[in-house]
Homo-oligomer: A and B are copies of this chain.
């Protein structure tokens, strides 16, 4: 897609030279200002010459500076996220909430780009054929596991989430070939989960990891749904990564439903209908 100039600015310094990167930085600091400034003022702000700004635009597949401004403007308008901005102590509500919303969007956008469709496809296949689905997570990923259970139990496949280390180990040991185990971890380094993954593997289950690529857990799983999370100081808890994990869960659930075909949807409707009486007037699942 040609829209995401900002994304490319953020992620792709490789195709840019040193002073072009200076331009990129100035733009990222305040894109809304950038689209209103002339090539001259931008050059001054970045301490480079005007032609450098122009070359910078060309490096990004624009025909020139006006074209770049246009694309950038559209990017901003769609709410296409950018974000280099971290929350600061001096931020007021609007500032930090904007930053968090943007960071979240950005993380999803990154994931969209980097996730392996092939791995997704294989996971959907595995889930659709599974005899049983188990989902393990700890800490913040525990809630994600619970959420996944809430989605998958609607399939006709038995499905449980465990958020307790001991239960996970026992359950993993009890799996058999044909069972699918989804393990969710932000870091992929939690010792307990890695060990559980090995136990599940040894029992013959198909182990799917939603986690950081190149992590121990990623290495020990059959299928990796890699979510790179550069986020987080050592103070805050995972924010964007667990949201990306949930989105991945959505994709998987959707994939499985699609794979089951249209006649399956009446089954889903029946499940939903069971909730009707719990609500005022009419509406949808909680």
A: which residues have CB within 8 A of B? 1, 3, 35-36, 66-67, 69-70, 73-83, 87, 89, 91, 93-94, 96-98, 100-102, 104-106, 108-109, 111-113, 115, 117, 120-121, 124, 137-144, 146-147, 150-151, 154, 185-187, 189-192, 194, 215-216, 232, 234-239, 242-243, 246-247, 250-251, 253-255, 257-258, 261-262, 265, 268-269, 272, 275, 278-286
Residue of B nearest to A69 (CB): B70
Q: Identify the closest chain B residue to A186 (Cβ).
A: B286
Q: Which 5 A-B pairs have the closest CB atoms?
A: A79-B109, A74-B77, A139-B286, A101-B112, A187-B283
With a cutoff of 8 Å between Cβ atoms, the chain B residues found around residue A268 in the complex are 235-236
Q: Are B242 and A246 in contact (CB under 8 A)?
A: yes
A61–chain B nearest beta-carbon distance, Å: 15
User: From DSSP, what is the main secondary structure of chain A's interface residues?
Assistant: helix
How many copies altogether?
2
CB distance from A252 to the nearest CB of B (A): 9
Given contacts A70-B70, A91-B258, A150-B140, is CB(A109)–CB(B120) below 8 Å? no
- Known contacts A93-B117, A142-B146, A154-B237; 6 further A-B pairs (Cβ under 8 A): A79-B105, A87-B258, A189-B281, A189-B283, A232-B284, A246-B246
